């Protein structure tokens, strides 16, 4: 989901701090995506925070980029990548389509509601092999 539409601060109020400090952060991220529909979502998983973030924390190399016309599918693939790399309990301990942000996004009709609907199109054998690992994790939850 896209978070960049939230101003960091405005008129002396720190919106990003409120977002990142809220116990409803994941649901809020889905909700700020409701007013617009992107044509394409491009995700950078070359290096990812597997714990902590968005500025500091434990990182791992994912060595992958992906794009989707469906932002829920893009996020679900991102969570699958985090599971592949080994993330924190919040990610590892829940199925992908049970993650709060994805649940709320699906409730709002922002994208796919099941991992079986996600299609991978790759351009080479290595990418196909990597996508098969991600798809396996998606289907397992």
What does the pLDDT look like over 44-97, one tens digit per residue? 999 999 998 878 899 999 999 999 999 999 999 999 999 999 999 999 999 999
Tens of pLDDT, residues 80-90: 999 999 999 99
pTM: 0.83
- Given the DSSP bridges, would you call strands 65-68 and 41-44 parallel, antiparallel or unpaired? antiparallel
R_g of the chain, CA atoms, integer Å: 15
Q: Give the pair of three-digit tokens for residue 34.
A: 């409701």
Indicate the helix (H) or strand (E) that contains 139: helix 125-140
Spatial separation of the C-alpha atoms in residues 25 and 9, rounded to whole Å: 17
């Amino acid at each position: 989901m896209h978070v960049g539409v939230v101003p960091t601060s405005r008129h002396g109020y720190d919106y990003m701090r409120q977002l990142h400090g809220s116990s409803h952060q994941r649901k809020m991220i889905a909700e700020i995506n409701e007013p617009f529909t992107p044509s394409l979502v491009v995700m950078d998983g070359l290096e990812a925070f597997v714990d902590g973030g968005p500025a500091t924390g434990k990182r791992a190399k994912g060595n992958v980029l992906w794009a989707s016309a469906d932002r829920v599918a893009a996020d679900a693939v991102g969570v699958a990548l985090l599971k592949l790399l080994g993330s924190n309990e919040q990610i590892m301990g829940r199925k992908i389509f049970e993650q709060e942000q994805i649940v709320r996004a699906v409730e709002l009709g922002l994208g796919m509601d099941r991992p079986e609907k996600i299609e991978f199109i790759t351009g080479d054998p290595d990418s196909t092999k990597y996508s098969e690992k991600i798809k396996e994790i998606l289907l397992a939850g």
